[in-house]
Amino acid sequence: MICARSLFKEYSHSVIPTVDSTKDLAYESIVVNSTSISSISPSKALCTEFCSRLQTFDPIMSGNAALCNPPWQNCLRRRLGTVPYTMFTIGLLAVTALYICLKSPSEDIPQGVQIELFEVKNKLEDLSQKFITTSEIQRNVEKKLNEVITLIPKLTEVTVKIRDDLSQDLSNRMQQISQRISQSHDHVNSLVQEHLTKHDADKTAMIDYALESAGGRVVSTRNTETYYKGDHVISLFGVPICQPSKTPQSIIQPGVLPGECWPFKGQTGSAIVQLIGPVHISGVSLEHIPKSLSPTGKIDSAPKDFSVWGLTRVDDQEGFFFGKFTYGIEKKTLQYFSVQRKTHTPYLLVEMKVHSNYGNPEFTCVYRLRIHGELEQRSFGGVL
């Protein structure tokens, strides 16, 4: 036979201390399960007595006719609140067990009462399993917190290592970039300086083998006549003593200011230039002043169509044809033309033939002719 007093002592002490006022979910579970308490015979009598006394003292509860019917728990819960009602429910179970123990000795408990005691025991066990004590919550929180604290130094160490690695890698890359920029800057400066030197010398960065100061000269103009109209004459007491000459040599001289040209009559003419040595000719350059520097604002005397020939002798009527070209007055003032026909034969004599100009019927003015290519070294002794 089961001892009811032992049963009450065991479960009344194991359930009631576990109540945690912060656990609303656990209270809700107790409240839900409390709906079946009044179905136990001893509990029903206690509930009836409790409700009767409560109606006597509480005017709000006294008007509820169904207080001791199944809805009494909801009304009582609203009146007392969740936490006090939970404590009341557990206390009611414990008092029920005590009532049974005091009413009947253990050896005289009938079979029906034992069943009811087991029901009370099972409900107390269910309720006790639904609670987590504050100490357990604190232990779980402390455990998780310790895990996080343990990870912090590791994360800090990894972060520092990543930062150091990134800093070192960035420093190395910046140093490499700086070195490359420095090398590129020096190389670019060298190239620019080299080209500027050549450009300052003759604007094309290419050697001019027709340049007069290097040894070139105009040896013939065939039947072309120089145009002298309007030249200023220096005189002494009315007697002309010096007449400035605009000779064909002007086309192989560096000056390209307005008037520093070779003017010839009409729109066609030619000039034969002896180079500083035999040259494998690759191209020619022709230069004229821009409209902005022309005193009249026009450059209709500029050559338009011209051709270049390689000669063996000055009196050759036909030579090697390098090509026919057109100088554009709307383009740059200095224009380069690659030869249209190539030859392995170097030429010492080059003839320029002008076939038309830009509309001036009286004269054509050639400012600067340059001849480019590679000098035949074995036949050239140098320029003094």
CB 89 within 8 A of CB 32: no
Residue owning tokens 């072309």: 224
Mean pLDDT across the chain: 74
Show the CA angle centred on residue 317, arms to residues 312 and 321, nearest 5°: 70
Distance of alpha carbon 195 from alpha carbon 201, whole angstroms: 10
Q: CA angle, corner 176, sides to 173 and 179, nearest 5?
A: 150
Cβ(244)–Cβ(232) under 8 Å?
yes
pLDDT of residue 68: 45
| Rounded average pLDDT over 190-210 | 70
- Which pTM does this prediction carry? 0.48
In the predicted structure, residue 100 carries a pLDDT above the cut 50: yes
Whether the per-residue pLDDT at 323 is higher than 70: the answer is yes
Q: Report pLDDT for 199.
A: 58
Least confident interval from 62-71, 86-95, 217-226? 62-71
Alpha helices (H) along 248-287:
none
Picking from 38-42, 154-158, 257-261, 326-330, which range would have the lowest pLDDT averaged per residue? 38-42
**Which has more confidence, 43 or 115?**
115
Residue 344, pLDDT above cutoff 70: yes
User: Helix, strand or coil for residue 2?
Assistant: coil
Q: What does the pLDDT look like over 6-61, one tens digit per residue?
A: 544 444 444 444 444 444 444 454 444 544 544 545 555 555 655 555 555 455 54
Sequence ranges of the domains in the chain: 4-132, 212-379
Average pLDDT, stretch 322-336? 93
pLDDT in tens, 290-317: 888 888 888 899 999 999 999 999 999 8
pLDDT at 84: 57
More confident residue, 265 or 184: 265
Residues 190-198: what's their mean pLDDT? 65
Model confidence over 217-262: pLDDT tens digits? 999 999 999 998 765 544 545 554 444 558 999 999 988 888 889 9
Please state, in angstroms and rounded to a whole number, the distance separating the CA atoms of residues 222 and 173: 69
CATH topology of domain 212-379: Jelly Rolls (2.60.120)
Residue 220 gets which letter from DSSP? E
| Distance, first Cα to last Cα, the chain | 141
Q: Given pLDDT bands bounded at 50, 70 and 90, which one contains residue 110?
A: low
pLDDT, residue 22, reads 42
pLDDT in tens, 253-289: 988 888 889 999 999 999 999 999 999 999 999 999 9
Which amino acid, one-letter code, is at 164?
Answer: D
Give the residue from 18, 49, 35 showing the smallest Cα distance to 77: 35
More confident residue, 245 or 3: 245
* Residue among 221, 340, 364 nearest 284 (CA): 340
Q: At what angle do helices 82-103 and 41-57 cross, to 10 degrees?
A: 130
Q: Report the DSSP beta bridge partners of residue 308.
A: 323, 352
What is the structure's pLDDT at 335? 92
More reliable by pLDDT, 197 or 33: 197
Separation between Cα atoms, residue 267 and residue 301, nearest integer Å = 8
Q: Which of 37-41, 162-166, 243-247, 341-345 holds the top average pLDDT? A: 341-345
pLDDT band for position 364 (cuts 50, 70, 90): very high
**Whole-number pLDDT of residue 133:** 61
Task: State the pLDDT at residue 111.
Answer: 67
Instruction: Provide the β-strand partners of residue 311.
Output: 349
Neighbours of 285 (CB within 10 A): 19
Provide the pLDDT confidence category of residue 80 given band limits of 50, 70 and 90. Answer: low
Share of the chain above pLDDT 90, in %: 31
What pLDDT was estimated at residue 363? 94
